[in-house]
Amino acid sequence: MDSLAAAPGTGPATNPLPVIRKAKAAARFEDLAQGRTLVMGVLNVTPDSFSDGGNHSTADSAIAHGLRMFYGGADIIDVGGESTRPGADPVTPEEEQRRVLPVVAAMVKAGALVSIDTVNASTAAAALDAGALIVNDVSGQRVTAEMIELVSARKVPYILTHSRGDSQTMDSLAVYTDVVGEVVAELEELRGRFRAAGHADERLILDPGLGFAKAGAQNWELLRGLDRLTGLGHRVLVGASRKRFLGELLTTAGKAAAPIERDAATVAVTALSAGRGAWAVRVHDVGPNLDAVKVAARFSA
């Protein structure tokens, strides 16, 4: 906390930017915590996020929330400016960059290791220029040649998510005979494109894409089959936080639990995923999930 004039959310300052006194030493991917699953905090700079209803849609509110997550122990802050929930409308790269770049710059200045959540190569490039160190791309089968070329040339860690279609079509494409086998096969096929471009395997992180062209039970099958993904030899990221399949599980009187009511279930999935070898979990509520990965690490020590 020595880089802050006051803890985020306290004191007379209303704009989080002046709270940061000076830049910390630049974060490095190599310096991430060892010996436990990492916690990636979700920072949605959008007005239509499924999980928080646009609570952090302005730069000031997003930065303040990002600082709270960072000083609360998040290993990585994942900044995104376009909702990827089913049915969401796309935004232009220009609008996406207007939303995220000030937030990325402020988080980097605070000393956070930042991931940029985008399907657009131009936004990824701008965020990397602003200090982001990881590209988190949920485009899956729609990944562009420009994105592959960018991350290969920049030699940055890239999160390859399994996904079919876009926000408008993904639900209709959740058709599998063997969801675990098909997800693994499709990730391997996409991995080949990155290898062909010279992207090193150690910089490729796999995400099974829970909720992306996956119906309720299929998500549980993927979680149970997590060892099939870790067996591919890459780091694996699990992003279950507040997703629909958890709301369906917690249905009461015929009504699915609201996103904010899914945090305890998320923590349970975090602990189980950590026990099965997940490299990181992507979550909205950092504190309890950080506790869960620490318990999982101690339990398996």
Q: Which of 235, 243, 262, 294 is catalytic?
A: 243
Q: Which of 214, 276, 282, 294 is catalytic?
A: 282
- Angle (CA) 156 157 159, round 5°: 135
Q: What secondary structure does DSSP assign to 169-229, as a single string? A: TGGGG---SSHHHHHHHHHHHHHHHHHHTT--GGGEEEE--TTSS--HHHHHHHHHTHHHH
Between CA 149 and CA 141 the distance in angstroms is: 16
Do residues 32 and 66 touch, judged by C-beta distance below 8 A? no
- Please report which helix (H) or strand (E) contains residue 295, including its range: helix 286-300
The verdict on whether 282 is a catalytic residue reads yes
Do residues 127 and 118 touch, judged by C-beta distance below 8 A? yes
- Give CA separation, 240 vs 138, 181, 243, in Å: 14, 19, 6
Between CA 234 and CA 212 the distance in angstroms is: 20
Q: What residue spans of 58-198 are helical by DSSP H?
A: 59-71, 93-110, 121-129, 145-154, 179-196
Between CA 136 and CA 47 the distance in angstroms is: 20
Residue 14 burial by CB count (10 A; 0-12/13-18/19+): exposed, middle or buried?
exposed
* Residue 137, strand partner residues: 160
Residues designated as active site: 243, 282
